[in-house]
Amino acid sequence: MTQTATIWCVSAPLYSHTDWGGFLRTAHALTQRGHRVSWVSGTAIAGAVSGLPFLPLDETGWLWPPPPLPDISTIKPQDAIMVRYRRALDTWLDEGKVADGVRGLLALAEQHGAPDLILTDPFLSASAIAAEVLGVPMVVCGWPALRELDETLLYPVQKVLADDSRQRVDRLCQMFGVVGENFSTGPTPSILSPHLHLSYFCDTLRHMVSSRRSQPARPKRVRRRGAGQRARTRLAGSDSGVRPTGSHHTGNDLYR
């Protein structure tokens, strides 16, 4: 028998961020399997996730809308490139907004109890930090677990901002007393789950799943020890719809 889990699906308050190829459908599929699934985000998208309990956040950590673009005709080309990359970095790694997002998630955990699992929008740094603070596993939905970039292949502007992004992640982790287990360790940090990435657009992985369907599934108990906490059973059995082992997995079989 599959153990019921409490799961939070956390996204930026934008309609497109409920998708990523199957994020919202994954939430509904897990609900159909008996899990207690809530969507966590800004109230602007509450109507887009009808049918799921909704937990509102004042701040998710996502900077939107971004600041207006400067007139690039008035600045040097190299400066325009720097502006472009820095705007992209600020969108998902604005330290003030991310910190507020983490505090919001921790407040929800205090109010409702911590979830057993967090499924997250692939660019929400607040989810990555809050999951580590709470000692619960985090799954990235809609983005593969990518290899770390070779720093020698980066453009100079990318190297400058890579160092900036690493410093931002380090400061945020220090602020909340974590080590950053849900971030990559390469020159350009990104959100990287040590447990599972659900990719909805990978033909190779979809083929792997088709092959696995022909094999008998064996239930298994999955345990993880959070910092200073006893080991808890998070999910059990292949029928849970979430597989906490491996670097990434296609999510299409969750709702087929």
Condensed to tens digits (0 to 9), the pLDDT of residues 141-180 reads 998 887 776 777 777 777 878 888 999 999 999 999 999 9
Domains of the chain: 6-254 (3.40.50.2000)
Structure tokens at 161: 């901002």
Give the best-scoring range by mean pLDDT among 154-168, 205-219, 231-245: 154-168
Burial of 86 (C-beta count, 10 Å sphere; 0-12/13-18/19+): middle
Dihedral (CA of 112, 114, 115, 121) sign:
positive
**What integer best gives the mean pLDDT of the chain?**
80
Q: What is the pLDDT of residue 202?
A: 67
Q: Could you count the other beta carbons within 10 Å of the beta carbon of residue 217?
A: 10
* pLDDT tens column, 10-38: 999 999 999 999 999 999 999 999 999 99
* pLDDT tens column, 89-128: 888 899 999 999 999 999 999 999 999 999 999 999 999 9
Q: Quick one: pLDDT band at residue 228, thresholds 50, 70, 90? A: very low
**Average pLDDT for residues 219-241, to the nearest whole number?**
37
Q: Quick one: pLDDT band at residue 84, thresholds 50, 70, 90? A: confident
Q: Could you count the other beta carbons within 10 Å of the beta carbon of residue 121?
A: 27
Per the CB < 8 A criterion, the answer to whether 43 and 61 are in contact is no
Structure tokens at 95: 């330290």
pLDDT beyond 60 at 222: no
